[in-house]
Amino acid sequence: MATVPETVDNALDAVSSGMLGRIPVRNLWLLMLYASDLYRAHGKRFVDIEENPDDLADMVAELLIHTVEQRQRRQLSAGYRSCAAILNRVRGRIDVLTTERHQLLARGSVACRFEALTIDTPRNRYVRGALEHIARNVKSGRARRCIALANQLKMAGVSAAVPTRMQMSAERFSRNDHDDRLMVDAAKLAFDLALPTEATGSRAMPIPDREATWVRKLFEKAVGGFYWINLAEDGWRVRTGTFHQWRLAGRTEGIDDILPTMQTDIMLDHAPTRRRIVIDTKFTSIVTKSRFREEVLKSGYVYQMYAYIFSQKGGGDPHADGAAGLLLHPAVHALVDELAIIQDHAVRFGTVDLAAHPREIKAQLLRFADPEGYVIAKPQRPRAEPRGA
């Protein structure tokens, strides 16, 4: 069993070993980048990161440093915090119970509850924690800058209590909070760069080649994030986690309570050509062993893709009427790239080698988005020999 690290030291142990399960650590960092909100919003800042993914932590640290310095020049965002205090004047609402219990009015005081403006907000505490966190995972020069900025936030009144990821998910950003969003997205990725390792920790989880939920979800989000950035300029629309309705001609009263929902991992729509590629990602071997064959595609996955494609056909959506499907897995023993035309719809079965160089991972993902890869060329008929030859 692998474990989730509680400190950056454990992440550094993973870096020193170079591998996590069967996947190089640098490639997991790359998947984390693709899966992050930072990449979706500012992917152009990471052009050609596949050429040197070992610099990813330093790039994230540099971006975090830049955004924090920018916010400091314009003043950190402030927020309101609920406070309770005994004052010599009324502020906010009077806490009648506390005031009467302690006979405060006789001493010229009153207990009040009020909202106070402060820069000790969850997002500022989160950023301070991220600076201290990533400082232990980057080169010494940037590490000193991260620690210096964290100390400046401390002196400004930002406390060390780091909010949880769940608490940060409740943060809402307005149109005027663009710089704050960039800063928080960089902080989230800085925390994510502490990887699960084989070192002893307090929380256990399966290692990647034993169907780790963490890596499976990461793989799905990474593929979606990669296509979100790299296909945008080519006229593609990328959607992730899309729910679809079953096209029911009739129903009984209780069917809605038991009929499963249908949700695709990733959908690529190309408006100019009205092409659609429905992608379903799995973090398992693409083939299994049957009674009669050593290697065979997993039937449940094929049926699932069949349902995705044909349940939406004939509903008036031209993209759905000609949709193709892609079952995308990580390569376990060998690369697979096969295609079948099922009732006029192309279904492709492919794998990505997560142990390859990041440049090759990018090339493999782009190949699976090429519409030409969903067409089987018809063999040319041999030319007839002239009579008497």
3 confidence band (pLDDT: 50, 70, 90): very low
Is 173 contained in some domain? Answer: yes
In whole angstroms, give the CA distance from residue 203 to residue 80: 35
Nearest 5°: phi and psi at 83? -130, 155
In whole angstroms, give the CA distance from residue 153 to residue 119: 9
Is 380 contained in some domain? Answer: no
**pLDDT, tens only, 105-155:** 999 999 999 999 999 999 999 999 999 999 988 888 999 999 999 999 999
Q: Are 362 and 336 in contact (CB under 8 A)?
A: no
Is 327 contained in some domain? Answer: yes
- Domain final residue pick, 171, 205, 239: 205
- Domain final residue pick, 118, 143, 174: 118
192 confidence band (pLDDT: 50, 70, 90): confident
**209 or 104: which carries more pLDDT confidence?**
104
Q: What is the pLDDT of residue 387?
A: 63
Residues 147 and 266 in one domain: no
For 40, 147, 246, 270, the CA distances from 44, given in Å and listed in that order, are 9, 27, 38, 21
Across-strand partners of 82? 115
Is 307 contained in some domain? Answer: yes
What is the three-class DSSP state of 84? strand
Highest-confidence range of 48-62, 220-234, 369-383, by mean pLDDT? 220-234
Q: What is the pLDDT of residue 125?
A: 94
Residues 32 and 180 in one domain: yes
Residues 175 and 62 in one domain: yes
For 31, 209, 239, 372, 373, the CA distances from 367, given in Å and listed in that order, are 17, 25, 19, 9, 7
* Torsion angle (degrees, nearest 10) of CA 136, 138, 143, 145: -140
Is 163 contained in some domain? Answer: yes
Q: What is the pLDDT of residue 194?
A: 63
What is the three-class DSSP state of 327? strand
Query: For the ranges 63-77, 229-243, 345-359, 368-382, which has the lowest average pLDDT?
Result: 368-382
Residues 144 and 223 in one domain: no
Is 107 contained in some domain? Answer: yes
State the residue range of the domain holding 195.
Answer: 2-77+121-205
CA 213, chain centre distance (Å): 13
Q: Looking at the predicted structure, is the pLDDT value of residue 11 above 60?
A: no
In the chain, beta strands by DSSP E: 2-4, 19-20, 23-24, 79-87, 93-94, 110-118, 203-205, 236-244, 262-270, 275-281, 287-288, 296-297, 324-330, 337-342, 345-352
Strand 345-352, strand 337-342: pairing: antiparallel
Across-strand partners of 81? 116
**pLDDT, tens only, 347-376:** 999 999 998 999 999 999 999 999 999 988
Residues 43 and 165 in one domain: yes
Residues 43 and 142 in one domain: yes
Is 280 contained in some domain? Answer: yes
What is the three-class DSSP state of 203? strand
Residues 22 and 159 in one domain: yes
Residues 282 and 344 in one domain: yes
Question: How many domains are contained in the chain?
Answer: 3
CA 235, chain centre distance (Å): 22
**177 or 350: which carries more pLDDT confidence?**
350
Q: What is the pLDDT of residue 201?
A: 43
CA geometry: angle 124, 127, 129, nearest 5 deg = 110
What number is the average pLDDT over the span 173-200? Answer: 76
What number is the average pLDDT over the span 192-196? Answer: 66
**pLDDT, tens only, 283-336:** 888 888 888 888 899 999 999 999 999 999 888 888 999 999 999 999 877 889
Q: What is the pLDDT of residue 202?
A: 39
Residues 69 and 87 in one domain: no
Q: Looking at the predicted structure, is the pLDDT value of residue 384 above 80?
A: no
Is 97 contained in some domain? Answer: yes
Residues 175 and 315 in one domain: no
Residues 264 and 165 in one domain: no
Residues 277 and 177 in one domain: no
Q: What is the pLDDT of residue 20?
A: 61
